[in-house]
């Protein structure tokens, strides 16, 4: 089983749609979780951290299920500018240690 | 702040040539990383440096060497480039501040080995 697994997509959705991405991770001792966004031919950038209680930032909602080792990202009211690749990222050890990146899920929002 | 900078942005090498990719960060971070990104493979860690004076291998270290020159700078060297090293290379840095942890990436170096 790969350490961090994501559906690669692509997800093609119309503007205004709600879309959800899922991610599973293999190490039950993983400490912290993130979603990064990567635009075409650009570097990855942090979109949001994922907390145990779930968290929301505007149209974006992240959820963590430690029992199932599962992370999700929900995007409501999709915009054209949301088109990007979304990377599920896990810190499998405590401290300032390397992150493990999923391969990413590509989203295209269509007018 | 410039954040994380990388040079060069683009490079074409012939098989067997050597080169050094430069990375610098101005955020006073202790940890720095080198990744490569290939289509369908995602980001793979080559080497990292948890703090000045230390370096460790990542997932794909073969064919590469690194130097943590000082707290700001972390270079990646290809001694004898191979076509399999054609990739986009990203440098990153990070620091834990309270409960916050974020890895910041440079803009990348696109390397082609012919």
The model's pLDDT over A56-85, given as tens digits with 9 standing for 90+, comes to 999 999 999 999 999 999 999 999 999 999
Kindly state the DSSP code that residue B53 receives in the 8-state scheme. T
Instruction: Give the pLDDT confidence score for residue A30 in this predicted structure.
Output: 86
pLDDT computed for residue B80 by the predictor: 96
Judged by DSSP in three states, A5 sits in: strand
Residue A53 has pLDDT above 70, yes or no: yes
The residue ranges of chain B whose pLDDT is under 50 are: none
**A1 pLDDT tier (thresholds 50, 70, 90):** low
Output phi, psi for B85, to 5 deg: -90, 5
Distance CA A86, CA A36 (A): 6
**Interchain pair B108, A43: CB under 8 A:** yes
- A32 to chain B: nearest residue by CA? B101
Q: What is the pLDDT of residue B2?
A: 80
Residue B20 sits at φ, ψ, to 5 deg, of -120, 130
* pLDDT tens, position by position, A12-36: 999 999 999 999 999 888 888 999 9
Mean model confidence pLDDT for chain A: 92
Looking at per-residue pLDDT, the higher value among A68 and A52 belongs to: A68
Q: Which residues of chain A are within 8 Å of residue B47 when distances are taken between CB atoms? A: none
Instruction: Give the number of beta-carbon pairs within 8 Å between A and B.
Output: 44
């Amino acid at each position: 089983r790969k350490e961090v697994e994501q559906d690669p997509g692509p997800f093609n959705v119309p503007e205004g749609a709600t879309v959800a991405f899922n991610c599973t991770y293999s190490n039950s001792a993983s400490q912290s979780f993130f979603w990064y966004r990567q635009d075409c031919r650009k570097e990855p950038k942090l979109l949001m951290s994922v907390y145990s209680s779930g968290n929301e930032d505007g149209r974006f909602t992240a959820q963590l299920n430690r029992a199932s080792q599962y992370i999700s990202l929900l995007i409501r009211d999709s915009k054209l500018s949301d088109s990007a690749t979304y990377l599920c990222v896990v810190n499998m050890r405590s401290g300032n240690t390397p992150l493990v990146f999923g391969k990413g899920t590509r989203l295209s929002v269509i007018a | 702040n410039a954040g994380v900078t990388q040079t060069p942005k683009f490079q074409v090498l012939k098989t067997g040539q050597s080169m050094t990719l430069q990375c610098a960060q101005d955020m006073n971070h202790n940890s720095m990383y080198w990744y490569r990104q290939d289509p369908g493979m995602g980001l793979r860690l080559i080497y990292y440096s948890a703090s000045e004076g230390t370096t460790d291998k990542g997932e794909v270290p073969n064919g590469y060497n690194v130097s943590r020159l000082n707290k700001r700078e972390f270079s990646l060297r290809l001694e004898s480039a191979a076509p399999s090293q054609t990739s986009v290379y990203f440098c990153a840095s990070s620091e834990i501040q309270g409960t916050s942890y974020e890895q910041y990436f440079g803009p990348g170096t696109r390397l082609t080995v012919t």
